[in-house]
Amino acid sequence: MSENSNTNTNNNNQELGALWKKESKNGGQKYLAGHIVVEDDMGVEKKVKVVVFANREKKNERYPDFRILKAKEFSGSSTEAPKKEVAQEIDEDVL
């Protein structure tokens, strides 16, 4: 991920990936889609596509606010998020 290095010298965090705000075409549901970079057992970096949904099942503070799911591979050119029951509209103030 060195091609996208952050040049801010005050930031010592290593970038793991990137996310973009998206909205589904059929329901107006908001979510995040992007990728993270992970190393396999051989130390080779590979991108894993992910989607992030707000957690509709949050009942108390111990439940996560968001769920991260591995994105399904689609044969078409459209990258539509998979439908999950944990998904709900993401609050714009949070993002």
Structure confidence by residue, pLDDT tens digits, 47-60:
999 999 999 889 99
Of 48, 58, 62, nearest in space to 88 by CA: 58
Query: In which residue are the tokens 């930031």 written?
Result: 11
Give first-to-last CA distance, the chain, whole Å: 23
* Average pLDDT of span 29-50: 94
- So what's the pLDDT on residue 3? 52
d(CA 13, CA 66) in angstroms, rounded, equals 21
Q: For a pLDDT cut of 90, what percent of the chain falls above it?
A: 48
- So what's the pLDDT on residue 22? 93
For 78, other C-beta atoms within 10 Å of its C-beta total 7
* Average pLDDT of span 12-20: 91
- So what's the pLDDT on residue 73? 78
Distance of CA 38 to the CA centre of its chain: 14
